[in-house]
Amino acid sequence: MQHFTRRLLVPALIVSAITASATAAGAFVGQPKPAVSAEGERTPQGARLTIKGKNWPAGARVKLTGSRAPGANGTQDFGIADASDKGEFTYRKTVQCTTNRMDDAENNPVTVTAADSATGVKATARIDGAPWVCQ
């Protein structure tokens, strides 16, 4: 009798484990990935940026950075955006212009990276380099 019980118990445990794994994995299927969009405007004060995010975890702290701007020496740190309880944020910032040459701007778009401070999940968007040209 004991031998028969063990034979039934082992397959039942395996089926339970597979079902639990499938349920956990199913929780992530169909959820949209975090996304970011970015726009830049050329102003006398510098590049006026608007960075928007959606599908981030509620309350996520999202670090915003940019690749090297036209004529600049290094990457850019734009700051931290806090996602709402709906996983959305809008972040506005004006940064210094970095070049007087429009041809620099045409050949050097800026990649904006948004990274969840807790998980490291990232999303990127591109802005052409024109907003970084000094007026």
Q: What is the pLDDT of residue 29?
A: 61
User: What is the rounded distance in angstroms from the CA atom of residue 101 to the CA atom of residue 121?
Assistant: 35
Q: Check pLDDT > 90 for residue 16.
A: no
CB of 52 closer than 8 Å to CB of 30: no
Question: Does residue 127 share a domain with residue 82?
Answer: yes
| Single-letter residue type at 27 | A
Domain span at 97: 35-132
Same domain (yes/no): 61, 77: yes
- Whether residue 128 sits in one domain with residue 105: yes
Give pLDDT, residue 31: 79
pLDDT digits (tens, 9 = 90+) for 17-58: 443 333 333 344 677 999 999 999 999 999 999 999 999 999
Q: Is there a single domain that holds both residue 49 and residue 27?
A: no
Q: Which residues contact 103 (CB under 8 A, 6 or more apart)?
A: none
The tally of domains found in the chain comes to 2
> Residues 8, 60: one domain?
no
Q: Is the pTM of this model over 0.75?
A: yes
| Same domain for 80 and 45 | yes
Average pLDDT, the chain: 85
* DSSP-assigned beta bridge partners for residue 54: 35
